[in-house]
Structure 1
Amino acid sequence: MTEPVIDLSEVSRRHDGGPPALDRVSLTVRRGEAVAVVGPSGSGKSTLLHLIAGLDRPDEGTVTVDGVRVDRLGEAGSALYRRAKVGMVFQFFHLLDDLTVLDNVVLPARLAGAARGAARRRATELLELLGIGRHGGALPGRLSGGERQRVAVARALMNRPALLLADEPTGALDTAAGQDVSRLLSELHAEGQTVVVVTHDPALARSCTDRTVRIADGRIVEDGPSRAAGAEPGSLGAPEAVR
């Protein structure tokens, strides 16, 4: 069995003295898995994502991602951890409107100290791989929602992260664009990328992941397969193409 990328043990988190947003949650995600975390608003799924991403700390328990004890990191360490280990895709893209598509994708590598030429070559390859290479010189505002989300995915993959976190990645898209992004996440998983999708949409979970973790009232209430046995994700082509 492959080693875990995510290992949460007895994690609890409370906000402002209220009831626990997460209550003694333990969760393991192994390398190469695609996992959906689903639940209604207020269930604790966003808190779980923030803890995995190092954007918050638990009150109790441990959070380990790709060998890093995330719960022990300070602010600077958390920023370095996210830069090296985690790629994040958000509902509203979070692209910089005054930078070109290519420069948006290059940015994480430059922040990590990569040489400009090497960073631009990788960014160009990712944009081509994701079918938007022709838009490299455009500003994000000229692209459709689905295209902007593909740019966000390329940016998230720029530093070859051990983990791709997607937070409601289709929530701001129309149905056709949402299905396009869902297929893209499925294809990335098929190429070996570890993916965690946080969503309130069970249909998205079924379409692009092989395991669904359901959260209610801060606890995991269900953990099982996302799709019927034998269903196959898509393919981007060459194995490990996105790595």
Structure 2
Amino acid sequence: MTSPVIELRDVGRAYDEGPPALSGASLTVRAGEAVAILGPSGSGKSTLLNLIAGLDRPDSGTVTVNGTRVDRLGEAGAARYRRASVGMVFQFFNLLEDLTVADNIVLPSQLAGMGRAAARRRTAELLETLGIDRHANAYPGRLSGGQRQRVAVARALMNRPPLLLADEPTGALDRASGEDVARLLRDLNADGQTVVVVTHDLELAKACTSRTVELVDGHIVTDTAVSR
């Protein structure tokens, strides 16, 4: 059996007054899996994603990703962890509009200290693999939503992270572009990339993952293999 990339044990997180965003959540994701975290707004999906990404810390329990105890990291350590271990894709792309496609993709390598020649080779490889090489010198504003999300995925994969996190990756796309991004995520997983998708869209989950985890009011209520 492959080793775990993500291990959450009895994780709890609360904000101010009201019920906890997460309560006693335990989750294991192994290398090479594609898992969808499902649930309505307010179910705890974003909190779970932020804990895995090291953008937030739990009040209780442990968060381990790729052998790192993320819940113990300070701000600087969490930033280093994200550069090395996590690629993130967001609903609204978060591309820098004044940089070209190639410059957006290469940016994480500069933050991680990758050599210039190696960064150029990796950028060219991602541009070709994701089918956006002809847009290398274009600016994001000239691209469709689906093309922008492909650029965002390429940027997330620049430093070869063991884990790809996608937060509502098709939420801002039309149906055809959404299906295209779902196929891309499925193909990346087929090549061995561990993927966690946070979404409220069951059809997206079925299209690009092999397992769904449902959150309701901060509790994991189901953990189910996807039948195809």
Partner of 1:41: 41
The two structures have a TM-score, normalised by structure 1, of 0.93
Q: Percent identity?
A: 73
Report the AA paired with residue 204 of structure 1: L
Does 2:117 correspond to 1:151? no
Please say which of residues 12-21 and 28-37 is displaced more in the overlay. Answer: 12-21
Q: Does structure 2 conserve the Cα–Cα contact (< 8 Å) formed by 1:207 and 1:227?
A: no
Report the AA paired with residue 13 of structure 1: R
What is the root-mean-square deviation in Å for CA atoms of aligned residues? Answer: 0.6
Partner of 1:162: 162
The two structures have a TM-score, normalised by structure 2, of 0.99
Does 2:100 correspond to 1:97? no
State the secondary structure of the residue aligned to 1:223.
strand
State the secondary structure of the residue aligned to 2:41.
coil
Report the AA paired with residue 45 of structure 1: K
Q: How far did 1:19 drift?
A: 1.1
Q: How far did 1:9 drift?
A: 0.2
Does 2:201 correspond to 1:180? no
1:158-202 CA distances to partner (integer Å, 9 max, x unpaired)?
Answer: 000010000000000000000000000000000000000000000
| Total equivalences in the alignment | 228
Report the AA paired with residue 10 of structure 1: D
State the secondary structure of the residue aligned to 2:21.
strand
Partner of 1:61: 61
Alignment of 1:8-47 (within 5 A): 8-47=8-47
- Name the CA distance, whole Å, in 1 between partners of 2:92 and 2:50: 16
State the secondary structure of the residue aligned to 1:214.
strand
Q: How far did 1:120 drift?
A: 1.5
State the secondary structure of the residue aligned to 2:206.
helix
Q: What 5-or-longer segments of structure 1 have no aligned partner?
A: 229-243
After TM superposition, the runs of 4+ consecutive aligned structure 1 residues lying more than 2 A away are: none
- Name the CA distance, whole Å, in 1 between partners of 2:189 and 2:116: 28
- Name the CA distance, whole Å, in 1 between partners of 2:105 and 2:166: 16
- Name the CA distance, whole Å, in 1 between partners of 2:145 and 2:227: 27
